[in-house]
Structure 1
């Protein structure tokens, strides 16, 4: 009889433990992270920042890669909503196209935080990013300094429609407009290293005189640098993001400089912002992250 009672007691305790664990799991905060792509080291580092902060906070994290496809991004958003996430962090593929995805989350009353790239439509709790206009201006000023205020430059643009490409280009051109420097070519290379290489090879063939290149990100800058090295010409290259390959290139005398963002910090701050939202704390509409110029 005592043995039967003991067995029943053990079963009862096990059932209670299982219930408690299930209850704890159901109460755990679930955060969704939508990244434009994981083929770019910048966004991989951003993901690592989110992951680190989520672990410290005890949050469950679901990461989805939109592969630079707005349609896939929309599908990923639907997937996160189906999985019952509490907050969504999103790095948009396109600032205009992402509006429909954000509105989908809005309809379900799920808070949305944008990282690095903003959104033209939809309700966003906050936007966390570097000041891309200031960074572009910083790059432009540096090129003006190196060229003595005169010369011919090329601008390699990021994905059309992204706030990062628009703002970095604006800052750069605002700075250049204060000098006698002429932009002899301006072409889109989609933030991609291979496209940066191919576009720059074509520009080199078309332009007999180029003194400097400003690329909206380091991947394009590194591609452009490879094209320049293949041509044997002496052209200054300035990038943006300070990814590890670019920083190494600057230290070795390849690229002249890169504007340093802090993608890890952007990601980490995303979780910190999510925590405030869940605690019903007030957030600024824009949370800036510091920049600096890394140069030779």
Structure 2
């Protein structure tokens, strides 16, 4: 009963938030810097104004402040602003591509020297990025790249993530769990989110990781769109369970839909003895669940917002100063299970 109350509380808290947009080794830049080095380097960069108003300005049209990841991400940027003396102009795009474009245009007009963003729609933001760069506003992308019709980068830099390899890593973890608990069989309810390419890449990587370890004949995947929402994840999982009584694994494109799926499973009397739940991305509530080890929710992939933000700020400041840097620096995800969650929560 305590477990059910705990999960119910987490589900209610998550439903108050909006949906998410979306630990392979990082590819080190040619200068030898790791993402951690880049983050530390941001502290050493002296911000220089290029608009003559005495202070450097960085615009941040945030992907979606309804998700805890992006709240932590922009909080870190604002913390760095306080430490280094640059100004942050931030606003919530609310997962709305048109709104994000309008915010960028406003930030250009307000005299920002740089803009940092994760594009809601990479295919629709290229024109305004080109406008910004032509006006001397350096654009640093997070998570997703943007290219023109010839395949050329349109921004000044990219803080990248390796979602497919991350999914494979989590798939290997799930395969090991299946070997130990389910006789090497993985019958997976997959709560997909094809609207976001990183989530789709992670899903494909997860299933590939499972099949590579267990053999394709021992992996069954029932895939439905969980729409990255708790209520939808619950409904979709109920539908999958109604048609498949052998499900012993759940994978979700984010923690919101996965929590809905776990609630659906537990409402049918399923426990951690019957199934394991895995998710792409994490949040503090789920990390608490994993640490307590009272739920079937056993593993997620943790993308440190602090390092993502610090690396983006470092690149933005260097771009404004005209310093050279690698176009893309990749930040690794970290596997978050009961053996690692304690240290990750301390970050």
Which band: TM-score by shorter chain? 0.7 to 0.9
Q: Which runs of 5+ in 2 are unaligned?
A: 1-50, 339-347
Structure (1 or 2) with the greater strand fraction: 1
Picking from 206, 221, 224, the partner of 1:187 is 224
Shift, 1:25, TM fit: 8.3
Identify the residue that residue 244 of structure 2 maps to in structure 1: 207
Q: Which runs of 5+ in 1 are unaligned?
A: 1-23
Q: For 1:239-254, list aligned pairs within 5 A.
A: 239-253=279-293, 254=295
TM-score norm. by structure 2 comes to 0.72
Identify the residue that residue 132 of structure 1 maps to in structure 2: 163
Deviating beyond 6 angstroms after TM superposition, the runs of 4 or more aligned structure 1 residues are none
Q: Contact conserved, 1:118 with 1:163, CA < 8 A, in 2?
A: no
Identify the residue that residue 216 of structure 1 maps to in structure 2: 253
Partner deviation per Cα, 1:158-183 (whole Å, 9 max, x = no partner): 351x3421331232233133223434
TM-score norm. by structure 1 comes to 0.84
Q: For 1:39-50, list aligned pairs within 5 A.
A: 39-50=66-77
Say if 1:46 and 1:175 are closer, same or farther in 2 by CA, change over 3 A. same
Instruction: Determine the C-alpha separation between the residues in 2 that align with 1:74 and 1:49.
Output: 23
Instruction: Determine the C-alpha separation between the residues in 2 that align with 1:63 and 1:51.
Output: 9
Instruction: Determine the C-alpha separation between the residues in 1 that align with 2:52 and 2:263.
Output: 50
Identify the residue that residue 155 of structure 1 maps to in structure 2: 190
Work out whether 1:287 is the aligned partner of 2:329. Answer: yes
Instruction: Determine the C-alpha separation between the residues in 2 that align with 1:173 and 1:238.
Output: 12
Of 128-137 and 180-189, deviating more is 180-189
Higher-Rg member (1/2): 1
Say if 1:27 and 1:224 are closer, same or farther in 2 by CA, change over 3 A. same
Picking from 226, 230, 238, the partner of 2:278 is 238
Shift, 1:141, TM fit: 0.6
Say if 1:279 and 1:199 are closer, same or farther in 2 by CA, change over 3 A. same
Higher relative contact order, chain-length normalized (CA < 8 Å, sep 6+): 2
Instruction: Determine the C-alpha separation between the residues in 1 that align with 2:334 and 2:108.
Output: 37
The Cα RMSD (Å) is 2.2
Identify the residue that residue 154 of structure 2 maps to in structure 1: 123
Picking from 265, 271, 292, the partner of 1:228 is 265
Indicate the SS of the match to 1:177. helix
Partner deviation per Cα, 1:157-214 (whole Å, 9 max, x = no partner): 2351x34213312322331332234343222333333332232233222322211112
Aligned residues: 272
Q: For 1:1-296, list aligned pairs within 5 A.
A: 26-121=53-148, 123-148=154-179, 149-158=184-193, 160=195, 162-178=196-212, 179-180=215-216, 181-233=218-270, 234-253=274-293, 254=295, 255-296=297-338
Of 65-74 and 122-131, deviating more is 122-131
